Structure 1
Amino acid sequence: MWVKLLLAMCVLGLLVSGCAKQESGDDIMTQLTGTVWVAEMIAGKPGIDMTHSSIEFGEKGVVDGFGGCNSYHGSYTLEGDVVSFGPMAATMRACVDAINDQEVRFFRSLAEPQTVKFKDGSLLLIASDGKISKFSTRE
């Protein structure tokens, strides 16, 4: 009798875990779009306060934002939980070295596909080398 009860509990556990909600590409797209995401950390390093490197995902594969010194515009694709960015066009304003370094790091981080995760209201873009770019919503 205990064996049957244990077996029933195992089957029930498998059914419940199999039904657990996993984020689909549509769920991720809904969370990405309609928000200006401001960088707190770029490729594993903290962002400079008040530079507001940002990214805004549009619904039709368009991305816009501010690198820290220059505005940019480009494209992106989302396949499952992996986002890839197309070529970016940016303004060419001169920046002080520290902000320029951050902007270069920001644009380089967008040059490779990244896994999209959401944690505690933040957007995490995780590169293949494990470096994380963390974004929060602009308030």
Structure 2
Amino acid sequence: MHAIRTFCLLVLTTLVLAACAGTPDFIRLADTEWQLAQLDNRPVDREATRRDPYLLMHGDSQRVEGFAGCNRLNGVYSGGGQSLRFDSLASTRRYCADAMEQEEAFMHALERTSEAQVDNGMLTLFDNRGRTLARFEALPTR
């Protein structure tokens, strides 16, 4: 009886730890440069920015860095499975007349993110109601 109870406890513990570990979708976010392609279901205005907006999430430290269109950004991310959250986001404070509206929308989308999905080299961010906030394309590793 004791052996059965121990075995069941071991199986239950393994299942709980596997559920908390994060799925391949979450793992595939890390160490990939994600170039912003759509924001609020509209194509990104690449003419307004100095260079293309992107995110880079470091898997070893769960830090995020990137470029929002005018300013660099950084912070931390967390989650597991399809859950994704950005916290402690900060950016430089440069002003770029043509890029500020899109940059503010980008930062606001990151702040509202609660879920993410990776599919065919595309990363899609969703809010807590399942609405699409932003879409990114995976860039080839350099």
* Range class of TM-score, shorter chain: 0.7 to 0.9
Name structure 1 gaps, 5 residues minimum: 1-23
The one-character-per-residue Cα deviations of 1:49-103 (angstroms, maximum 9, x if unpaired) are: 2531111111122000000100011011113211111121211111123x11110
- Alignment of 1:76 with 2:77, yes or no, is yes
Q: Which moved more, 1:64-73 or 1:41-50?
A: 41-50
Q: Which moved more, 1:87-96 or 1:113-122?
A: 113-122
Residue in structure 1 matched with residue 26 of structure 2 by the alignment: 29
Give the letter aligned to residue 96 of structure 1.
A
Residue in structure 1 matched with residue 18 of structure 2 by the alignment: none
Say what the alpha-carbon RMSD is for the aligned residues.
1.7
Give the letter aligned to residue 76 of structure 1.
Y
* Aligned pairs, number: 115
Name structure 2 gaps, 5 residues minimum: 1-20
Residue in structure 2 matched with residue 42 of structure 1 by the alignment: 39
Question: Which secondary structure does the structure 1 equivalent of 2:123 belong to?
Answer: strand
Q: Which moved more, 1:85-94 or 1:63-72?
A: 85-94
Instruction: Give the alignment's TM-score, normalised by structure 1.
Output: 0.74
Runs of 4 or more, structure 1, over 2 Å off, are none
Instruction: Give the alignment's TM-score, normalised by structure 2.
Output: 0.73
Give the letter aligned to residue 138 of structure 1.
L
Matches within 5 A, 1:1-139: 25-49=22-46, 51=49, 52-59=52-59, 60-97=61-98, 99-129=99-129, 130-139=131-140
